[in-house]
């Protein structure tokens, strides 16, 4: 179980009353985002307080009225998911920075300029974030925020999420060395060996990863690769 000394308060307010539990910061946020964790890794005490700092426990009758149950695990989950998790300003800022980087990476990986079908450089995306005054919520899911942020960015920077099917032809001596790298970028839809000893495949990848894929396999094969975009979706 989490150390009480290192725990923070998760609080749910209802009808002027507080319902508080002591939780591990990181694991409570993980539960809030939908992850399934053992409750003993999340809470520091199996108590529901009206004032955790003073050690005052909430009324069992009030708990059942508000949450519809007096089962501690169910009540704790509701408090974490619906209530406020009291983070320090420093911790909140660190979470925000981390989530901002994750969102930028998702957009950079999947997004392209609709005119050129090429990804926007990361610096260009960061500049657009600043110009659009994008606010990142440290608690909201990354994928949900991406869609909201794209609406703000598009008047400044045209962005379209694309999936590309790319055909690759690689000489036999480098094919197996490139295989794992190609697979790490996306899904290999089909592959075959030609009579010439060349290996060919069709891989489906996020649109923004095209240049990165070429850079990686050209480095491995010393340029002994041919590529062609077959389809853009």
In DSSP terms, 51 is beta-bridged to 56
152-169 pLDDT, tens digit per residue, is 999 999 999 999 999 999
Which residues make up the CATH 3.30.70.240 domain(s) of the chain?
163-232
Portions of the chain given CATH number 3.30.1250.10: 7-85
- Where does the pLDDT of residue 3 fall: very low under 50, low under 70, confident under 90, or very high at 90 and above? confident
CA gap 223, 201 in Å, rounded: 17
Q: Is the pLDDT of residue 192 over 90?
A: yes
Q: What is the pTM of this model?
A: 0.65
Q: What is the mean pLDDT of the chain?
A: 92
Q: What does the radius of gyration of the chain's CA atoms come to, in whole angstroms?
A: 25
What's the confidence (pLDDT) of residue 109? 93
For residue 6, with 0-12 CB atoms within 10 Å meaning exposed, 13-18 middle and 19 or more buried, which class applies? exposed
| Assigned CATH topology for domain 163-232 | Alpha-Beta Plaits (3.30.70)
Numbered ranges of CATH 1.10.10.900 in the chain: 89-160
Tell the residue number behind the tokens 């853009």, with chain if given: 232
Tell me the fold of 7-85.
3.30.1250
Predicted confidence at residue 206, as pLDDT, reads 94
Does position 92 have pLDDT exceeding 90, yes or no?
no
pLDDT tens, residue by residue, 51-88: 998 999 999 999 999 999 999 999 999 999 999 988 87
> Does pLDDT of 122 surpass 80?
yes
Q: What integer pLDDT is reported at residue 7 of this predicted model?
A: 87
DSSP 58: P
DSSP class of residue 140 equals S
Q: Where are the alpha helices (DSSP H) in 111-159?
A: 122-131, 142-153
Which band of pLDDT confidence, cut at 50, 70 and 90, is reported for residue 30? confident
Look at residues 206, 77, 84, 86 and name the one whose alpha carbon lies nearest to residue 146: 206
Q: Is the pLDDT of residue 1 over 80?
A: no
Structure token digits, residue 198? 């060349």
Just give the CATH number of 89-160. 1.10.10.900
pLDDT on residue 83: 93
**C-beta separation of 61 from 68 below 8 A:** no
Mean pLDDT of 177-188: 94
DSSP strand pairing (225-232 vs 163-170): antiparallel
Residues 127-137: pLDDT tens digits?
999 999 999 99
Order of strands, edge to edge, in the sheet holding 163-170? 187-193, 199-206, 163-170, 225-232
Torsion of the alpha carbons at 139, 111, 206 and 29, rounded to the nearest 10: 0
* pLDDT over 90 (residue 25): no
């Amino acid at each position: 179980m989490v150390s009480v000394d290192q725990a923070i308060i998760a609080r749910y307010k209802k009808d002027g009353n507080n319902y508080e539990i002591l939780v591990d910061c990181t694991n409570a946020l993980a539960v809030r985002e939908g992850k399934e964790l053992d409750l003993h890794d999340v809470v520091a005490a199996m108590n529901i307080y009206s004032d955790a700092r003073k050690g005052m426990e909430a009324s069992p009758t009030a708990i059942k009225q508000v949450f519809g149950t007096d089962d501690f695990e169910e009540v704790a989950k509701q408090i974490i998911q619906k209530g406020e998790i009291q983070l320090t300003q420093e911790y909140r800022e660190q979470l925000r920075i981390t989530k901002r980087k994750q969102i930028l990476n998702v957009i950079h990986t999947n997004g392209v300029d609709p005119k050129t079908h090429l990804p926007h450089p990361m610096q260009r995306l960061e500049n657009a974030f600043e110009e659009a005054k994008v606010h990142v919520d440290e608690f909201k899911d990354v994928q949900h925020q991406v869609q909201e942020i794209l609406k703000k960015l598009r008047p400044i920077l045209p962005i379209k999420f694309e999936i590309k099917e790319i055909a690759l032809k690689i000489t036999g001596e480098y094919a197996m060395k490139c295989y794992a790298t190609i697979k790490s970028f996306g899904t290999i839809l089909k592959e075959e060996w030609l009579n010439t000893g060349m290996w060919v495949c069709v891989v489906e990848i996020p649109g923004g990863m095209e240049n990165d894929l070429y850079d990686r396999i050209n480095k491995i094969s010393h340029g002994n690769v041919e590529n062609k975009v077959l389809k853009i979706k």
